[in-house]
Structure 1
Amino acid sequence: MKQVVMRWGLVLVLVSVAGASEADKKMGALVDGMRVGPLRRLDIGVTRKGTLIPAVVSADDLDLRTKKTRVLLVNVNGESDPKVSVGAALKWFYESGEAAEFRKRFVLSAVPVANPDGWVSGRGASNLSGGMPATAFPPSGTAYGDVKNPEAHYLWRWIGISAPDLVIEIGEGDSPGLFVPRTGLAAMKPLVSLGASLGASGELASCLPRHAACGTGPVAAVRLVDRPDRVPTHLARIFRSGFTGPSPARRELQMRLARTPVQVATQLAKRYGHQLNTVAYIPALALVGRIRLGQLTGDSSHLDDVQRIVAPYASGKKPTVPPGRIFGSNHSGHLVFAELARVTGKPVYRKLAKNAADLAFDKQGRPLAAMPGHVEMSDSVFMACPILVETGVLTGKPRYTRMALRHMKFMLATNLRPDGLHAHSPLDSAPWGRGNGFPALGLAWCLSHLPESAAERKPILSAHRAHLSALIKRQDPTGMWHQVIDHTGSYREFTSTCMITYSIIRGIRRGWLDEKTYGPVVARSWPAIKTRIAPDATLVDVCTGTGKQKTLRAYLDRTAILGPDDRGGAMALMVSTEMAAWDRDRQQVRKSR
């Protein structure tokens, strides 16, 4: 998919233009007319027909710490003429003298039409996929692959994680006016006198004060039914009512932002990193994260517990490589043994790490074309290269580091796209999010241990820098990376953002990435990561396990997990401990001055 890159302050916004559908073109024209004042387009989802779901937002809408009260207009079905009910209302707010007093205290953004296929086709409430998204709240089923109402999932989770203070749902009905849910939510109190009661139903405004979207907290909401040109009148009444933020959802996210990296890692370590039933990358990385947390805090109990957990492998009671099975996750699962070998100096862990690395050679000790078990997936850059480098450094045998470079070249020849991103596999050119997180993390891991004098270092560093240069151009204004890196309507995915952020922090800390270029990238991504980690270590939008997919739609439809997830927890532990180490490094530099 061809992309046009536009600068938005310091943030890069990607808008898909090539091959746009008629619906996308009509939605684009609608939204272009709403880019008034500080407002810019930001896509929040994609329909079953492939139509992007756009919002218009300002920098304040992306700033959870702003002192202004953040109000979001939502027109789900495009009722009440969105060009006027939304577009003219935004123009009034940002350009009229009448609204000048309100602009000092409020910020106004909008989702002009959350059901674009229904609006463009003139079908109203139907989304042309058998669904009725306007009455599907809170959404049930699987996000975001719901075959009937994906629009409801995208909108619901966007509101939950962006946490506006008030949502005004614009609709149609026989009786004009404001309709206000009576839920007992304290934030709603100033609004109750403005309109009639809105009972419990499946509509957005009814559900937001009654439920916690994304688990963050309720959001005040009202339903506005009137002529399109009357929206500014109702907005003025709301702004003068004494209503103010932050919403309970925003207060929760502000609390999450206030945590230090060590506090985040400590919360994560209570839930993740407590087993290694099978040697695989997910539990292994969580254990590595706990080891590093212990080093940061001086708490040796983490290392002691990890050694207890791996004892069956260290004693030989359990094999680290399951007999008759060769798979990439097992290769990278051996990284916990390499970590233990470095930290403890015990030879047994070096021997265990070598078990995986030796699979790259035939019985005569000759290198294979690539590490077995790669199944043509870009994941394999991480699954194989780091354990080969680690083993080479731990044993002092360069054949392992040579094999790491050989494997990297094989995988880049298989999946690297002309734009510098990795396709997940040759089956489809889609640059899956974690399919790019894996190469970023894998090469950063290799560079962390390859000596400066190693011949393999220069080509690995060159490939890594080129990949990260391509990735930072596609960072979302929220700080996240997408489930499909170059698809702005795909969901903002947690693990890929953790992996890419880890890789950048490690590169800055070790000196192979320029802090002036990459520091601002982390300044956006780390807060976004923190908001998606609850104090109980539940997570927002972790892509489920994903093998090779044949179509872009298949990647868009992969389940986005909301709740506890071992994969997401492991990646979150890795990035939070790395961020904590960077904070420590910078504090030491400041003290030395």
Structure 2
Amino acid sequence: MRKLFLSLLAIISFQFLSAQQNLLTKFPKGSTPGEVGKRLAYHFVDGRHELYAGQYIHYAEVCTWNGALDYAVKTKDQKLIRLLQDKFEPFFTREKALLPPMNHVDYNMFGSVALKLYQITKDVRYKEMGLAYADAQWELPRNAKPDEKAWADKGYSWQTRLWIDDMYMITVVQNEAYKVTGDPKYIDRAAKEMVLYLDKLQRPNGLFYHAPDVPYYWARGAGWMAVGMPNLLRDLPKDHKDRPRIMEGYLTMMKSLKEHQRPDGMWSQLIDEADFWPETSGTAMFTYAFIIGIQQGWLDAAEYAPAVQKAWTAMVSHIDERNNVTEVCVGTGKKNDKQYYHDRPRNAGDLHGQAPYLWCAAALLGK
């Protein structure tokens, strides 16, 4: 009788887990990750470059490129892969002047898209370009400022500035370099930086202020950390010395985010301010972090899969007829003024929002 009971319990548990996992795969027609990802990826291909002051490729475009490539690979869409290659090809010739200089964390992350293209095509030009950007983050320039030299002397990137954005900008290019070369120095760099940022910036509740002197939990700012941690953990060796600390930071943040999800499935422009407007880029970043955690077995599917289902459904409702994600907060510098965050303009089609939607679409298509 006891064996029969245990067998029935195992069957019930399996069926319950399967039902929760289905929440990551069962979506109504028109809202499936495949359909949404295709709409946004092809929209990106047709779009113009987004530039810093008319000069260099903006990091938000790189983030979107990464998402479109991930989606194309997951769906084996060879046409899309070819179009994304064609969009990049002019950087080797007539658009070479648009390549960001290798002197700032937001610029150097450009290398990540070149390294992703190398993994798909094995064209060595992408590898050489991408590794140059990755290595430059740790190559101290001759005209380095004293604080930059101080970071380098401690083994950190000279581009360290303790802004949470960096935990996508630094880790994404170092992680892609690790995947391309297998050289542990790249993953070690990323992990060392992540531990520094966690120790310096994470609050006891698991969230992050926009800056140490700005005590507000801005959604997209926190989103960079929410995405950077699971992306890094996914490739970090299981026995890596920094893994426990990063996993602790990730799980603590996820628990807090789950508690702050709005009834409509979104997250607010300021995470803990329920009367602030629902913001799409931060919502998509948090949703992505949940998806990866569930798929990797770090998060309990029974608890987090319904949150993903609710968030994705809400997210899709914020895509307009032109395939633009709406309610995206514009680029936002820090300011110690709550009303400032409430009043930030919102753009439709801003690549800060298009990018994490594509990350989610690709992730929802499976490991």
Which TM class, normalised by the smaller chain length?
A: 0.7 to 0.9
Q: Aligned to 1:431, which of 213, 217, 221?
A: 217
CA contact (8 A) 1:267 1:537 kept: yes
* Distance change >3 Å, CA 298–CA 321, structure 1 → 2: closer
Residue 337 in structure 1 maps to residue 130 in structure 2: no
Which one of the candidate residues 129, 134, 147 is aligned to 1:357? 134
Q: State the Cα deviation string for residues 50-96 of structure 1 (Å, max 9, x = none).
A: xxxxxxxxxxxxxxxxxxxxxxxxxxxxxxxxxxxxxxxxxxxxxxx
Corresponding residue of 2:354: 569
CA drift at 1:410: 2.5
Instruction: Kindly provide the amino acid, as one letter, of the partner of residue 417 in structure 1.
Output: R
Q: 2:286 aligns with which of 500, 518, 521?
A: 500
Between the aligned partners of 2:315 and 2:29, the Cα distance in structure 1 is: 9
The CA distance in 2 between the partners of 1:320 and 1:449, in whole Å, is: 31
Q: CA offsets, 1:498-556, max 9 Å, x none?
A: 11111211222233322122111102111010111123213331110012222222222
Assess, with a 3 A threshold, how the Cα gap between structure 1 residues 511 and 339 changes in structure 2: closer, same or farther.
Answer: farther
What TM-score results when the alignment is normalised by the length of structure 1?
0.51
Cα deviations by residue, 1:311-341 (Å, 9 ceiling, x for unpaired): 2445697278634x63332233322122212
CA distance in 1, matches of 2:125, 2:328: 35
Cα distance in 1 between the residues matched to 2:109 and 2:137:
13
The structure 1 segments of at least 4 consecutive aligned residues displaced by more than 6 Å after TM superposition are: none
- Equivalent runs, 1:378-457 vs 2, <5 Å: 378-457=164-243
| Contact kept? 1:370, 1:406, Cα under 8 Å | yes
Greater C-alpha radius of gyration: 1
Change beyond 3 A, Cα 1:464–1:353: farther
Q: Secondary structure at the match of 2:335?
A: coil
> In 2, are the aligned partners of 1:388 and 1:404 still within 8 Å (CA)?
yes
Instruction: Measure, in 2, the Cα distance between the counterparts of 1:392 and 1:447.
Output: 13
Counterparts of 2:77 and 2:32 in 1: how far apart (Å)?
A: 17
Which ranges in structure 1 are unaligned for 5 or more consecutive residues?
Answer: 1-254, 586-593
For the residue of structure 1 that corresponds to 2:135, the secondary structure is: helix
- Aligned-partner Cα distance in 2 for 1:467–1:319: 40
Deviations 1:171-196 (A, max 9, x none): xxxxxxxxxxxxxxxxxxxxxxxxxx
Residues 361 and 286 of structure 1, relative CA distance in 2, 3 Å threshold: closer
**Does the CA contact (< 8 Å) of 1:538 and 1:564 recur in 2?**
yes
The residue type equivalent to 1:339 in the other structure is K
- Cα distance, 1:374 vs structure 2: 4.8
Give TM-score, length-normalised by structure 2. 0.80
Separation (CA, whole Å) in 1 of partners of 2:68 and 2:182: 27
Distance 1:261 1:492 in 2: 21
Q: Is it true that 1:260 corresponds to 2:260 in the alignment?
A: no
CA 1:448–1:367 in structure 2 vs 1: closer, same or farther (change >3 Å)? farther
Higher relative contact order (CA 8 A, sep 6+): 2
What are the residue-to-residue correspondences of 1:204-283 with 2, within 5 Å?
Answer: 258-273=30-45, 274=47, 278-283=56-61
8 A contact 1:431–1:486 mirrored in 2: yes
Q: 2:272 aligns with which of 486, 493, 496?
A: 486
Matched residue, 1:307: 85
Work out whether residues 423 and 431 of structure 1, in 8 Å CA contact, stay in contact via their aligned partners in 2: yes
Contact map agreement 1:327 1:374 (CA 8 A) in 2:
no
Q: Distance in 1 between matches of 2:166 and 2:140?
A: 22
Q: Does 1:470 align with 2:247?
A: no
Q: 1:454 & 1:548 partners in 2: Cα distance?
A: 34
> What letter is aligned with 1:573?
L
> Using the alignment, how far apart are the partners of 1:577 and 1:374 within structure 2?
30
Distance 1:396 1:367 in 2: 25
Query: CA contact under 8 A between 2:203 and 2:209: conserved in structure 1?
Result: yes
Aligned with 1:347 (options 101, 115, 124): 124
How many Å separate the matches in 1 of 2:133 and 2:154? 14
Asked if 1 retains the 8 angstrom alpha-carbon contact of 2:195 and 2:246, the reply is no
In structure 2, what is the Cα distance between the partners aligned to 1:319 and 1:453?
Answer: 42
Give the partner amino acid of 1:564.
G
Distance 1:297 1:405 in 2: 30
Show structure 2 runs of 5+ residues with no match: 1-26, 142-148
Aligned partners of 2:137 and 2:267: how far apart in 1?
32
Partners of 1:368 and 1:353 in 2: CA distance: 24
Aligned residues: percent identity?
A: 27
The structure with more helix, counted as a fraction of residues: 2
Displacement of 1:573? 1.7
Bigger proportion of residues as strand: 1
**One-letter amino acid of the counterpart of residue 234, structure 2:** S
Q: Deviations over 1:460-519 (max 9, x none)?
A: 222212211221111111111111111111111100011111121122223332212211
Superposed CA offset, 1:72-131 (max 9, x none): xxxxxxxxxxxxxxxxxxxxxxxxxxxxxxxxxxxxxxxxxxxxxxxxxxxxxxxxxxxx
- 1:431-454 Cα offsets, whole Å, 9 max, x none, are 100011110111122123323344
Change (3 A) 1:534 1:492: same
1:289-328 superposed matches below 5 A: 289-314=67-92, 318=96, 322-323=100-101, 326-328=103-105
2:91–2:99: 8 Å Cα contact kept in structure 1? Answer: no
**TM-fit CA distance, 1:412:** 2.2
- Decide whether aligned partners of structure 1 residues 545 and 298 sit closer, same or farther in structure 2, where only a CA change above 3 A counts: same
Please tell me whether the aligned partners of residues 508 and 518 of structure 1 are also in contact (alpha carbons under 8 angstroms). Answer: yes
Name the CA distance, whole Å, in 2 between partners of 1:476 and 1:569: 21
User: Deviations for 1:549-569, whole angstroms, at most 9, x for unmatched residues?
Assistant: 2222222221122x3322212
